[in-house]
A and B are shown apart, each in its own frame.
Chain A
Amino acid sequence: MIRTQNLTRRFTLKKETVEAVRGIDVDVQPGELVAFLGPNGAGKSTTLRMLTTLLPPSAGTAEVAGFDVVRDPVEVRRRIGHIGQGNGSLDGLRMNEELTIQGRFHGLDRTTARARAAELLDRLDLSEQADRDVARLSGGQRRRLDVAMGLIHRPRLVFLDEPSAGLDPHSRANLLEHIRRLHRDDEVTIVLTTHYLDEADAVAERVVVIDNGRIIADGTPDQLKSKVSGDLVTVALAENDDSGAARDVASRVPTAHDVEAGDSRLSFRVENGDAVLPDVVRALDSAGITLRSAQVKRPTLDDVFLTLTGRSLRDDD
């Protein structure tokens, strides 16, 4: 579905050159659901814009839906849906007008476009608002209209740039469910960008981590997490004075590393944390250390990003 080679984009701003995308090689097979994950300014939108023919690459090539984005942009546009980072509808038009006309932009005749619009509005739970001016839609409804516009011509490949940015948790979950269904029931290939870790984790089968215009990791969420060695075990101590003794106990646990103690708190990483925890509790107990609580956390994608770059993705939000 997608194959890029050394895809690169530079912007020149008053003598200063911004290297937005620095040589991306990525292959996406039909039926995949891929999330491009990265902090602000990582180059996600720029990559998507090149793949959707909105922006010519400075170097490298990209083949999308069987056609080269530079040589055959119109053929690419016929075959893809693109839901951009901003709102795609214009105030003053009604929802079904925008949607039907979008169908005609794709060459559907009036009758087909209307039928298809009605079908999509129904599917995205927008039928009630069909005759409403888009200016009077809620954020979530407006975003779903964007999705509907991207699907009007039944593309086999759909790009979504930050589909759920700015939505409340409920609308976000709802939108993600629609995306998931599109993937599962219609077997549409989906590429989305996000800087929400939980979103990438929850929805994507494959996560491509982008930082500074480069791919720094690519795999299933589980594969990526296995790059972070071990689960995080955190124990709250009753007495701060026990910190030193607790550190000694933890250091003796096989495979434990990154041991930190202080502020009535002990933490370390260890393989198979769930199985290790009972032993740790017993060992602390026999050393006469009183515990308040204990917790095991599997690595998150944020831990992955932290391991790879030394920075946290969360700081950017």
Chain B
Amino acid sequence: MALLTSIAPVFERELRSKVRTPWPYIEALADPLLLLVLFAPLVAGLGDVPGLPDTDTIQWFVPGMLVLMVFTTAAFIGSGLQEERQAGSMERMLVTPVSRFALLMGRVLRVMAIVVVQSVVVVAVTVPFGLQVHLDGMLVAVVQLAVLAAALGIASLAVGLVLKNAYAFWGVIAIFYTPIIVTSGALLPMDLAPGWLHAISRVNPLAHVVEAQRTLFAGEFGHSSIILGFLVAGVVAAVGAVVGTRAMRRLSL
């Protein structure tokens, strides 16, 4: 209860500041839609390729786009924390009774909320292009995207706390960005990959969530990939939460 009453104002503060400068989120939304328009036809044109459905490329493509969108929305929020630390606002908040954990969770809840809205928008926009929606599958899919957002968000916050320096933060992001995107299998099926690349994709959490999302959008429940997707996101979230709260507790300015 006490935790909830202290997360609420953090969440509200986050939301208010982001709603007024929504450009990063609109950008994160535009990205998958542009890929859908410009890249999906190329994928469809590949024809008979292992890992790709014969028809309905959009049904295969949209879940991957959603995962990429979650990545762009959630994976950089650690830099916001760094900015507040550079300015005096973090220090100011640290001298209030609000718990350190709440200062992180408020931010995580904010990206979860935004991701839910973004996902609904992407799905709504792609239905006219032939996306078939299985309501129950999509519901679980959105929940899973929110969990993934939480996992990436908290991991990003942890990185932002451990690396004090903004250059170091963006350096880490730059190193991981391309491998994570390519080996997620969101753009092209990983069945095409040589053994070593396929092995990399197996340790990429996004790859598992992409597969889970595709199953869910196909309306197939009871597939092990769905559980695996949740599990992988859960592990990332747990590791991030432990590292993040420890760094936050030790945070002295």
Contact = CB atoms under 8 A, between A and B. Distances in A.
Interface of A: 49, 52-56, 74, 77-78, 80, 82, 84-90, 92-93, 97-98, 101-102, 104-107, 133, 146, 149-150
Given A84-B88, A97-B16, A101-B12, 5 more contacts: A90-B87, A104-B12, A105-B6, A105-B96, A150-B92
A55 B253 contact: yes
Interface residues of B, number: 26
B168 to A, nearest CB: 16
B98 interface: yes
Contact of B92 (A53, A78, A82): A82
Nearest to B102: A105
Interface of B: 5-6, 8-10, 12-13, 16-18, 20-21, 84, 87-89, 91-98, 252-253
A84 B252 CA distance: 13
Contact of A107 (B21, B84, B94, B97): B97
Contacts of A105: 6, 9-10, 93, 96-98
Contacts of A89: 89, 92
A119 to B, nearest CB: 19
A54 B252 contact: yes
B92 A88 contact: yes
A101 B89 CA distance: 12
Contact of B91 (A78, A88, A97, A107): A88
B99 to A, nearest CB: 8
A85 B9 contact: no
Contact of A92 (B17, B94, B97): B17
Contact of B88 (A85, A97, A133): A85
Contacts of A77: 95-97
A80 B95 contact: yes
A53 B95 CA distance: 7
18 contacts: A49-B253, A54-B94, A56-B252, A82-B91, A85-B88, A87-B89, A88-B91, A90-B17, A90-B87, A92-B18, A93-B13, A101-B13, A102-B96, A104-B8, A105-B9, A105-B10, A105-B97, A105-B98
A203 to B, nearest CB: 22
A87 B97 CA distance: 20
A257 B95 CA distance: 50
B95 A54 contact: yes
Contact of A149 (B12, B17, B92, B97): B92
Contacts of B9: 101, 104-105
A86 B90 CA distance: 10
Contacts of A88: 87-89, 91-92
B87 A107 contact: no
